[in-house]
């Protein structure tokens, strides 16, 4: 476990895996609770499956896991993107791969829209989003905010409302729209979602819109773990940094 600070924000991270391998930034599932430890709960865990080949950079997002940050009504996807890029800068990583699950999908597209030159390839496992208006993610945000509010006296109820609107007030991938996905030049590997939080239709739309994207429809079954290893490692090898 290690950490760095910037502007009153403390970001905790883990470095694992092959020291000489191409680095992969890991953006964990869990919604607003996205932390590196949550990879242990998924059927295909990149911390276990990629460690023998790549240098893994796993992080706890602000106010999740071990990371802490002040809260304001201006907080948005851009602040998370700034944290993620600041971590790469702190580690001296100019260019890497990025792999994210669930909320990691919107995180990834915000990164690719902001600093595409930093990423050689992106792997998205069941990206979170919506094919139309839905209260699901906003309800999750409100529950998270309610549990956290007492620790952030600097934030008013209006701040939390604005923060939630900035994160989950839209549709599609929330951090970007279809036009930004269509403009993405970074190669993508999309492992399809299959539930209301990670609609299969959204994964298919991402793969259809992006100029250089591969879609994997089946990957969650325990018997497919080694096949997924080969698919992900092959993708990363095909797009070295």
Identify the pLDDT of residue 190. 98
Q: What pLDDT score was predicted for residue 133?
A: 82
pLDDT class for 25, splitting at 50, 70, 90?
Answer: very high
pLDDT at 2 > cutoff 90: yes
Concatenate the DSSP letters of all residues of 93-153 into one string: -SSEEEEEEETHHHHHHHHHHH-GGGEEEEEEEEE--BSS--SHHHHHHHHHHHHHGGG-T
- Check residue 241 and give its pLDDT: 85
Q: What is the mean pLDDT of residues 117-127?
A: 98
| Cβ contact 130:202 at 8 Å | yes
pLDDT tens column, 54-79: 999 999 999 999 999 999 999 999 99
CA distance to 93, 132, 189, 191, 196, per residue, from 129 (Å): 29, 9, 17, 14, 9
Q: What pLDDT band is residue 80 in, cutting at 50, 70 and 90? A: very high
pLDDT of residue 132: 85
Comparing CA positions, the residue from 61, 65, 1 lying closest to residue 27 is 61
- Is pTM beyond 0.95 here? yes
Q: Phi-psi bin for 84: left (phi > 0), alpha (psi -120 to 50), beta?
A: alpha
Q: State the average pLDDT for the chain.
A: 97
Whole-angstrom Cα distance, residue 168 to residue 180? Answer: 17
Task: Select from 168, 175, 161 the least CA-distant residue to 72.
Answer: 161
Write down the pLDDT at residue 179. 97
Please tell me the distance from the alpha carbon of residue 34 to that of residue 43, in angstroms, as a whole number: 16
DSSP 170-211: SSBTSSS-HHHHHT--S-EEEEPP-SSSS-HHHHHHHHHHSS
User: Given 3.40.50.2300, 3.40.50.2020, 2.60.34.10, 3.40.50.1820, which CATH number is that of 2-238?
Assistant: 3.40.50.1820
Average pLDDT over residues 215-223: 95
Q: What local confidence, expressed as pLDDT, does residue 225 receive?
A: 95
- Residues 69/9, Cβ–Cβ less than 8 Å: yes
Span 9-38, mean pLDDT?
A: 97
Note the pLDDT tens digit of each residue in 100-112.
Answer: 999 999 999 999 9
Three-state secondary structure of 54-96: CEEEEECCCCCCCCECCCCCCCCHHHHHHHHHHHHHHHCCCCE
pLDDT band at residue 195 under the 50/70/90 scheme: very high
Domain ranges of the chain: 2-238
pLDDT of residue 126: 98
């Amino acid at each position: 476990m290690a950490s760095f600070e910037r502007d009153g924000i403390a970001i905790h991270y883990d470095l694992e895996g092959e020291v000489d391998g191409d680095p992969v930034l890991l953006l964990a599932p869990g919604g607003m609770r996205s932390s590196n430890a949550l990879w242990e709960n998924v059927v295909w865990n990149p911390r276990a499956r990629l460690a023998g080949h790549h240098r893994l950079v796993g992080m706890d997002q602000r106010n999740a896991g071990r990371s802490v940050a002040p809260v304001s009504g201006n907080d948005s996807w851009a602040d998370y993107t700034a944290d993620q890029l600041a971590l790469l800068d702190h580690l001296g990583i100019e260019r890497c791969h990025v792999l994210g699950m669930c909320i990691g999908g919107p995180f990834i597209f915000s990164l690719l829209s902001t600093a595409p030159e930093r990423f050689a390839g992106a792997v998205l496992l069941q990206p979170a989003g919506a094919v139309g208006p839905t209260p699901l993610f906003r309800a999750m945000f409100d529950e998270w905010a309610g549990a956290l509010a007492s620790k952030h006296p600097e934030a008013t109820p209006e701040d939390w409302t604005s923060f939630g609107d900035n994160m989950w007030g839209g549709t599609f991938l929330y951090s970007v729209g279809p036009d930004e996905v269509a403009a993405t030049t970074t190669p993508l590997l999309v492992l399809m979602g299959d539930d209301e939080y990670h609609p299969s239709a959204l994964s298919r739309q991402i793969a259809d819109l992006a100029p250089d994207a591969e879609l994997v429809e089946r990957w969650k079954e325990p018997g497919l773990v080694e096949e997924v290893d080969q698919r992900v490692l092959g993708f990363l090898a095909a797009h070295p940094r």
